[in-house]
């Protein structure tokens, strides 16, 4: 079996009727495929949108709401209804499902990140299918573009999945929006996600969902850098998940990066919140970016923010203001200020094991989230 552990992401547009309400028939199609993958021996994790779609009509809304508070209330009602649909259908196949609601904070906090990983691991080991969604009721920012696309990539990297499948309403990544450009061509294979590719892809997704193709490409960047290949395909095919798991069907396949980013580096790059900034001289910049060395106290030119021991900071080159990366500091800001007053300041501020250099692709990616 090539793909033992599979994360499947299903967007709102793949679960709804034309009026934006939840389609029970579409949910059944998804759960049937999940059950088939499970019975074939795959470990399956579902990242599902659809809570707002499942709940808004129960609150008297005639169509999907646009105000944040209305979305939050609809999600609060719909989350249980959506899970009930999945649970009922999976129980017919004698498969247990489990609900996990996450926010970006759960990834930013290392303790919560570890706890989430452990809970998912236990569920998979016990033969259950975790069903994961953003905690939309409290996550205001996550209700914007790209919510569950990003989440699915983060989950895939967290659990070290063998494949991430992104189900959407188009059959892959095109050179342009196929709706507006009939001559657009689908890219069947993407071996490297470049800044040109990131900048080429844009435009809004379908009216019911919030994740356009750009957010899916960024999700693919996160996953592939963590060593997880990604397949984008259309949910309109009833066996889309099965075909993707068997390397069949029509879609866009993204190969995993040859240089897998370790879990600690993933956390630094994508999740850890920066508490301050450090600017370094040209020599320190070269040592960090090109020579794989640690940052020494002597290389620091200036600092800003209020950071303490063990906090994460962003590092810039002083002359160019170019962002170099992020790292965990061994000294707080006040201690570093005292050390810099010495004639020959010594000490390692950021060890290379706790440092991540930002490539142009990573910098563009992080600037959008």
pLDDT in tens, 193-252: 887 787 777 544 444 443 467 888 889 988 998 899 999 999 988 899 999 999 888 899
- DSSP assignment of 74-111 equals HHHHHHHHHHHHHHHHHHTTT--EEEEEE-HHHHHSHH
62 and 184, same domain (yes or no): yes
pLDDT for 210? 38
85 and 157, same domain (yes or no): yes
Query: Rounded to 5 degrees, what angle do the CA atoms 363, 285, 352 make?
Result: 80
pLDDT for 211? 42
Each residue's pLDDT tens digit, 134-144: 887 776 654 44
Residue 80 belongs to some domain of the structure: yes
Average pLDDT (1-22) is 91
Output the known binding site for substrate.
Answer: 49, 136, 148
240 and 319, same domain (yes or no): no
Of 142, 147, 136, which is closest to residue 205 (Cα–Cα)? 147
pLDDT above 60 for 282: yes
251 and 330, same domain (yes or no): no
3-class secondary structure, 112: helix
| Cα→Cα distances 265→79, 150, 256, 261, Å | 33, 17, 16, 6
Each residue's pLDDT tens digit, 49-100: 999 999 999 999 999 999 989 999 999 999 999 999 999 999 999 999 999 9
Q: Is 104 exposed, middle or buried (0-12, 13-18, 19+ CB in 10 A)?
A: buried
53 and 162, same domain (yes or no): yes
Q: What is the CATH number of the domain that holds 282?
A: 2.30.130.10
Domain end, chosen from 211, 231, 261, is at: 261
**Close Cβ partners of 124 (under 8 Å, ≥ 6 residues apart):** 5, 43, 45, 130, 159
Q: Which two tokens stand for residue 260?
A: 């897998």
Residue 267 belongs to some domain of the structure: no
Query: What one-character DSSP code corresponds to residue 260?
Result: P
Residue 266 belongs to some domain of the structure: no
Q: Considering the chain, what is the average pLDDT of its residues?
A: 88
Domain end, chosen from 261, 286, 306, is at: 261
pLDDT above 70 for 28: yes
3-class secondary structure, 32: helix
Residue 223 belongs to some domain of the structure: yes
Of 42, 32, 36, 39, which is closest to residue 4 (Cα–Cα)? 42
Of 202, 219, 207, which is closest to residue 149 (Cα–Cα)? 219
Q: Is 346 exposed, middle or buried (0-12, 13-18, 19+ CB in 10 A)?
A: exposed
Q: Quick one: angle between helices 24-39 and 68-91, nearest 10? A: 50
- Who wins on pLDDT, 37 or 364? 37
The parent domain of residue 104 ranges over 5-261
CA 224, distance to chain mean position in Å, is 11
58 and 22, same domain (yes or no): yes
| Cα→Cα distances 246→189, 223, 226, 250, 326, Å | 16, 19, 21, 12, 38
Residue 268 belongs to some domain of the structure: no
277 and 200, same domain (yes or no): no
Q: Where are the beta strands (DSSP E) in 105-174?
A: 129-134, 163-168, 173-174
Domain end, chosen from 227, 261, 295, is at: 261
Average pLDDT (269-292) is 92
Partner residues linked to 163 by β-bridges: 6
Gap between the Cα atoms of 145 and 177, Å rounded: 17
Residue 131 belongs to some domain of the structure: yes
300 and 211, same domain (yes or no): no
130 and 249, same domain (yes or no): yes
Name the band, by pLDDT with cuts 50, 70 and 90, for residue 107: confident
**Close Cβ partners of 274 (under 8 Å, ≥ 6 residues apart):** 305, 312, 313, 314, 326
pLDDT for 141? 58
Output the known binding site.
Answer: 9, 49, 136, 148, 168-169, 210-216
Average pLDDT (307-336) is 94
Average pLDDT (33-40) is 97
pLDDT above 80 for 303: yes
Q: By percentage, how much of the chain surpasses pLDDT 90?
A: 63
pLDDT for 360? 66
119 and 244, same domain (yes or no): yes
Average pLDDT (247-267) is 84
pLDDT above 50 for 17: yes
pTM: 0.85
Each residue's pLDDT tens digit, 144-192: 434 688 899 999 999 999 999 999 888 899 887 777 888 888 999 999 8
Output the known binding site for ATP.
Answer: 9, 168-169, 210-216
356 and 247, same domain (yes or no): no
114 and 244, same domain (yes or no): yes
Q: What is the CATH number of the domain that holds 135?
A: 3.40.1160.10
pLDDT above 80 for 23: yes
Number of domains in the chain: 2
């Amino acid at each position: 079996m090539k793909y033992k552990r599979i994360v499947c992401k299903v967007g709102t547009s793949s679960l709804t009727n034309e009026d934006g309400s939840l389609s029970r028939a579409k949910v059944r199609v998804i759960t049937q495929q999940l059950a088939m993958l499970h019975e074939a021996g795959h470990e399956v994790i579902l990242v599902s949108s659809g809570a707002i779609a499942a709940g808004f009509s129960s609150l008297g809304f005639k169509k999907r709401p646009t105000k944040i508070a209305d979305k939050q209330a609809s999600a609060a009602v719909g989350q249980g209804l959506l899970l009930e649909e999945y649970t009922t259908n999976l129980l017919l196949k004698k498969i247990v499902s489990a609900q996990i609601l996450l926010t970006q904070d759960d990834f930013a906090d290392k303790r919560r990140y570890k706890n989430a990983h452990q809970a998912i691991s236990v569920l998979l080991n016990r033969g259950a299918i975790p069903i994961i969604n953003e905690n939309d009721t409290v996550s205001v920012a996550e209700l914007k573009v790209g919510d569950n696309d990003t989440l699915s990539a983060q989950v895939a990297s967290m659990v070290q999945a063998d494949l991430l499948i992104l189900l959407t309403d188009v059959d892959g990544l095109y050179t342009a929006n196929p709706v507006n450009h009939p001559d657009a061509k689908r890219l069947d294979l993407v071996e490297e996600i470049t800044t040109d590719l990131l900048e080429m892809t844009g435009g809004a997704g379908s009216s019911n969902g919030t994740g356009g193709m750009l957010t899916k490409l960024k999700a693919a960047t996160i996953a592939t850098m963590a060593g997880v290949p990604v397949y984008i395909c259309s949910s309109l095919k009833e066996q889309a998940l099965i075909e993707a798991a068997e390397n069949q069907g029509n879609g866009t396949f993204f190969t995993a990066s040859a240089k897998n980013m370790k879990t600690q580096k993933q956390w630094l790059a994508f999740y850890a919140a920066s508490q301050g900034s450090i600017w370094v001289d040209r020599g320190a910049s070269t040592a960090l970016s090109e020579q794989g060395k640690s940052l020494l106290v002597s290389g620091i030119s200036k600092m800003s923010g209020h950071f303490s021991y063990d906090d994460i900071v962003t590092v810039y080159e002083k002359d160019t203001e170019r962002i170099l990366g992020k790292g965990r500091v061994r000294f707080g800001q006040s201690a570093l200020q005292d050390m810099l007053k010495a004639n020959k300041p010594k000490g390692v501020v950021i060890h290379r094991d706790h440092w991540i250099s930002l490539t142009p692709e990573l910098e563009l990616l992080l600037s959008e989230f």
